Copies of this chain bind each other. A is one copy, B any other.
Amino acid sequence: MRTETVENYLKTIYNLSADNTAVVANQQLADKLAINPASVTEALRKLHELKYVIYEKSYGTRLTTAGVKMALNIVRRHRIWETYLVKELGFGWDEVHVIAEELEHVKNDKLINKLAEILGNPVFDPHGDPIPDAKGKIQKSNFIKLSEAKIKNNYKVMGVTDHSTAFLKYLDKHHLIIGAGIIVKTIEEFDNSIILVCQKKEVNISPKAAECIIVQALN
């Protein structure tokens, strides 16, 4: 298998498995990678032979230790590049994901570690995702999705789970950037949309968007 193909599969399995806690379905992979389910089945069989995953027919897939190691490496490269593009090269958080999708495949540890060093070994990327260190160790957190937030509580925006330009530009427009403080005002009974206050302005967030915003409770 081409290493780029292997890397894309392992990274995606890792991301879909919530840090390897859940089993991943073929369908999820097919959707995320925009690939035919039949092709996914084939690929998983090969990855199983290569000992990167444990793939059980009609049940699901999880990463082996070797698979996790490789996945964390790719995730590190992706997130370091995203951070470098934003912090050192002046790109917006809404435009770096696609570029990092290419840069992440450039395999040179010295390069990535050099970038990390220049950045001061950051622990979170521009979307609030944790960056594994050179050994693969990752920061744990107790963040929740905005969709799980409670009325009248205070929160701080810590990240996003959708990296599309459209979504990030939408957040920018409402000042919902990382670090922003928010208060949940009401949750509409009708459609579960959330009305919150950010920078003294009221914003109406759809349930779909609320699923993609990561926040931390402020005591």
Contact = CB atoms under 8 A, between A and B. Distances in A.
A32 to B, nearest CB: 22
A117 to B, nearest CB: 10
Contacts of A115: 89
A106 B114 contact: no
A81 to B, nearest CB: 10
A99 B114 CA distance: 13
A50 interface: no
Contacts of A107: 102
Interface in A22-43: none
Contacts of A119: none
Copies of this chain held together in the complex: 2
Nearest to A115: B89
A106 B111 contact: no
A51 to B, nearest CB: 26
Across the A-B interface, the 6 shortest Cβ-Cβ residue pairs: A102-B106, A89-B114, A99-B108, A103-B106, A99-B111, A90-B114
Given A90-B114, A102-B108, 10 more contacts: A89-B111, A89-B114, A91-B110, A91-B114, A99-B106, A99-B111, A102-B105, A102-B106, A102-B107, A106-B106
18 contacts: A85-B111, A89-B111, A89-B114, A89-B115, A89-B118, A90-B114, A91-B110, A91-B114, A99-B106, A99-B108, A99-B111, A102-B105, A102-B106, A102-B107, A102-B108, A103-B103, A103-B106, A106-B106
